[in-house]
């Protein structure tokens, strides 16, 4: 009988990551320094990418598969106004059954490919009462709830070739990139929908209850979601500059009431809101990437 393996403490070796990066680069001659992880329904950013080379995950030996609607499951190489970029369309999630180290494995591969700047997007729920559906929130900070409860993405044996054993996560989200994105939004006339705040990661796949949303707001969170933090931490661990952006696809009524909200959020509604912001996000990222 095979021995039980604790999946939290099993990961890819440095050599595994290098081999995966080599396999991917067999398909493309571009050498991008910027990568964008497209969140739920935000793959429309790819429509602005020219001269595309598509590498589906299933063509990469041993690469985990994305199983969620709104996540295409492929890498897209190309250019945004002649600047080479790599898009990840179809991230991996903890709630799909992947351990944290596997969720963030693609970021390790991006580093091996040569990525220096990581732009991470997501669809999230608004907790700040001033937020509205359709707002964009720049991540100023995060709360790693799974990590605080013992499932940090960096748990396990550390290889110094990846990064340091102990990582400071303050200033994870690059201040200069946040400033540049703000400037672009204002120049395009959309500063009124731009926010900055703290994102809290939940394990999922359940959307939080009204009582849970109140607790998360007490923690100091402005928006909540089921991704981004492991990728941002590993990006930071790898020495990348990291920028995070949340599209607020729903908001929670946190007014004091004895009864929980009867509003039932669906994944389809999240996708609908993301689709409505697709054109704007294409324009913003075209201009934003040019400033990096």
Residue in the block written with tokens 């939290």: 8
pLDDT in tens, 143-192: 999 999 999 999 999 999 999 999 999 999 999 999 999 999 999 999 99
Q: Yes or no: say if 58 and 267 are a contact pair by the CB < 8 Å rule.
A: no
**pTM higher than 0.75, yes or no?**
yes
Give the Cβ contact number of residue 283 at 10 Å.
Answer: 14
Q: Yes or no: say if 152 and 277 are a contact pair by the CB < 8 Å rule.
A: no
Confidence of residue 140 (pLDDT cuts 50, 70, 90): very high
For residue 89, is pLDDT > 80? yes
Average pLDDT over residues 100-113: 96
Average pLDDT over residues 193-197: 97
Q: pLDDT at position 153, please?
A: 96
Give start and end residues of each alpha helix (H) in the chain: 14-25, 100-103, 105-113, 145-148, 175-187, 210-218, 229-237, 267-276, 278-290
pLDDT in tens, 38-78: 987 677 788 889 999 999 999 999 899 887 665 579 999 99
Average pLDDT over residues 20-46: 90
Enclosing H/E stretch for 143: strand 136-144
Sign, CA torsion 112/91/141/219: negative
Q: pLDDT at position 67, please?
A: 73
Confidence of residue 251 (pLDDT cuts 50, 70, 90): confident
Average pLDDT for the chain: 89
Assigned architecture for domain 7-290: 3-Layer(aba) Sandwich (3.40)
Q: What are the extents of the domains in the chain?
A: 7-290
């Amino acid at each position: 009988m095979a021995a039980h393996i604790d999946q939290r403490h099993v990961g890819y070796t440095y050599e595994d990551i290098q081999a995966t990066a080599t396999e991917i680069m067999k398909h493309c001659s571009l050498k991008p320094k910027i990568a964008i992880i497209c969140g739920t329904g935000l793959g429309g950013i790819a429509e602005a990418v020219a001269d595309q080379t598509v590498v589906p995950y299933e063509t990469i030996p041993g690469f985990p598969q994305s199983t969620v609607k709104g996540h295409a499951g492929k890498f897209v190489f190309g250019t945004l106004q002649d600047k080479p970029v790599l898009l990840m369309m179809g991230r991996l999630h903890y709630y799909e059954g992947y351990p944290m180290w596997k969720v963030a494995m693609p970021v390790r591969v991006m580093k091996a490919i040569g990525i220096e700047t990581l732009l991470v997007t997501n669809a999230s729920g608004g907790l700040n009462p001033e937020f509205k559906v359709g707002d964009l929130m720049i991540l100023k900070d995060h709360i790693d709830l799974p990590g605080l409860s013992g499932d940090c993405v960096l748990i396990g044996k550390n290889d110094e070739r990846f990064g340091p054993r102990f990582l400071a996560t303050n200033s994870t989200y690059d201040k200069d990139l946040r400033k540049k994105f703000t400037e672009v939004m204002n120049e395009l006339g959309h500063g009124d929908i731009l926010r900055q705040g703290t994102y809290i990661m939940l394990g999922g796949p359940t959307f939080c209850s009204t009582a849970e949303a109140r607790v998360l707001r007490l923690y100091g969170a402005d928006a909540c979601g089921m991704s981004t933090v492991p990728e941002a931490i590993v990006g930071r661990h790898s020495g990348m500059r990291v920028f995070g952006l949340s599209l607020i696809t729903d908001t929670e009524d946190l007014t004091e009431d004895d009864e929980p909200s009867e509003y039932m959020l669906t994944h389809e509604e999240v996708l609908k809101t993301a689709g409505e912001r697709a054109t704007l996000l294409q324009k913003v990222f075209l201009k934003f990437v040019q400033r990096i």
